[in-house]
Amino acid sequence: MYSSERGLPGAIVANRYSHNQRQWDRNLFVHASLENSFFKNHDLLANIKFSRDYNRYVDPEYISLDGQLDNRYYQSEWYASLVNKYSIANWWEVSLATDFAKNTLSANLYRFPYPTRYSYFAALSTQMQWERLHIQASMLGAYVDEQVKQYYKGDNQKVFNPVISVSVQPFETSDFRIRAFYKESFRMPTFNDLYYTFVGNSSLRPEFTKQYDIGATWIHNNNSGLLRTASVQADVYYNRVTDKIVAMPSSNLFRWTMMNLGEVEIKGLEINTDTKFDLPRDFKLNLGLSYTYQKAIDITPKGSTYGDQIPYTPNHSGTVTSFLGRREWDLHYSFIYTGERYSQKANIPVNYVQPWYTHDLAVGWNGKLLKTNVRLSAEVNNLFNQYYDVILNFPMPGRNVRFNLSITI
């Protein structure tokens, strides 16, 4: 059970520096699972879950004959899954997973369609594992049946998605492995995409993604010496997204429509390194670096922005994290960098968004006070008080300080 109420941020634009929209959320779920084995080498896992979400949005600036805008949404889900696993040999396993979900949405909105979605999934997968070669393959089939009480109804969908992944150890040492995968996935238009808008779009197709990835990992552990662990992971990938679902404002400001628009091609490189040191006098040091290069290009045929980097996707981004500890004391420092981006589809000067980066520092103490375990910590986030926007015109906090006290009983 989870419940929250909060003020919503609004865009900070010329002549308008404050907002008073509010939102309430309440989530409730119950969950049960069962594990059993009916015969040798067989495993069965059954899950059932029910959840109910309530969401309320109030906008005091939107006044109708019924008073201020007060939208309430109720969403509920029944979910059941059954997984059967069978080991054919000690290196070969097959499994069949079947899932069923029923989702409903209702709201106190004018012309609301009250949709119900029945989703059926079946996935057949196999896993083969030898000492120097792992292979996984699966095929997912999905069928989504959509019903509405009134107005426009989303189309029923039938989808098949294969996945294959391989991991090889080419040399004697188990420190180094090469991996590769091919994956197809899809994103169904959500209830939000289809029905939250003033007039939903009934003819949305699912968004499809194809991913190709090849990478290598090197992990080395030492039992003695200064350097205890070092690891490097590197991946290059190529993704292709078709029928991307996007929201577009229509002729009337308050009437957005959702559309399948666009093809995106993504070429990327990702590197992660991690090192752990044991220094003299009980000092421990961790140092992690990560870097991503991404070229995500709009390749929509006949599009006005063909060849441009898609919005809010930087070419370069990275993080540095470090940790220095000695007995009950610890010191954390992290640095996050997000490169230059564009806030709209066209890569032109007016849409340019500055790179941003922040330095965060934290110090902590773990110990015992009055026989209870206590942790005290202090954080300074955005140490150099830099102004930055993650999303244009939604400014992020400047330097801020936080103190934490946690007690374990």
Partner 1 sequence: MKHFYKFLAIAAIFSITLMGCSEEDSIPKIEEEDLFPQTVTAIDGLYVLNQGNMNTNKASLDFYDYASGKYLKNIFGEINPDATLGLGDVGNDLGIYGSKLYAVINKSSKLEIMDAKTAKRLKVIDIDNARFITFAKGKAYVSAYGSSLNGFVTEIDTSTFEIKRTVEVGRQPEQLAVVDGKLYVANAGWASAPDYETALSVVDLNSFDVINKIEVGANLLHVKADKYGDLYVSSQGDFGAIPSKLHVIDTKEGSVKKTFDVPVANLTIVEDRAYVVSSTYDWDNDKNITGYHLVDVKNEKLLEGSFLPTSVSDEIKAPSALAVNPVSKYIYIADARDYVSQGKLYGIDKNGNLKFTIETGDVPASIAFRYIAK
- What residue ranges bind partner 1 (CB under 8 A)? 10-16, 60-66, 69, 110-111, 152, 198-199, 201-203, 226, 246, 248-255, 261, 277, 279-281, 283, 285, 287, 304-305, 320, 322, 324, 333, 335, 337, 343-346, 348-350, 354, 357, 359, 384, 386, 392-393
| Region class of 73: left (phi > 0), else alpha (psi between -120 and 50), else beta | beta
CB of 153 to partner 1, least distance (A): 11
B/e letters for 57-95, b = 16+ CB within 10 Å, e = fewer, are bbbeeeeeeeeeeeeebebbbebebebebeeeeeeebeb
User: Cα Rg for the chain, rounded, in angstroms?
Assistant: 26
CB of 233 to partner 1, least distance (A): 22
Q: Which is nearer to partner 1, 350 or 409 (CB)?
A: 350
Distance CA 345, CA 264 (A): 12
Q: Which is nearer to partner 1, 150 or 223 (CB)?
A: 150
CB of 288 to partner 1, least distance (A): 13
Distance CA 268, CA 273 (A): 17
CB of 146 to partner 1, least distance (A): 16
CB of 15 to partner 1, least distance (A): 4
CB of 100 to partner 1, least distance (A): 30
Q: Which is nearer to partner 1, 129 or 250 (CB)?
A: 250
CB within 8 A of 314, min separation 6: which ones?
Answer: 294, 338, 339, 340, 341, 355
Q: Which is nearer to partner 1, 140 or 285 (CB)?
A: 285
CB of 51 to partner 1, least distance (A): 31
Residue type, 407: I
CB of 11 to partner 1, least distance (A): 4
- Which of 84, 82, 88, 83 shows the shortest CA–CA distance to 41? 88
Strand partners, 332: 323, 362
Q: Which is nearer to partner 1, 205 or 375 (CB)?
A: 205
- H-helix or E-strand containing 191? helix 191-191
- Report yes or no: 57 and 71 within 8 Å, Cβ to Cβ: yes
B/e letters for 4-18, b = 16+ CB within 10 Å, e = fewer, are eeeeeeeeeeeeeee
Query: For the chain, how far is it from start to end, CA to CA, in angstroms?
Result: 23
Distance CA 64, CA 100 (A): 40
Q: Which is nearer to partner 1, 175 or 278 (CB)?
A: 278
CB within 8 A of 340, min separation 6: which ones?
Answer: 314, 315, 352, 353, 354, 355
Q: Which is nearer to partner 1, 84 or 344 (CB)?
A: 344
Q: Which is nearer to partner 1, 328 or 340 (CB)?
A: 340
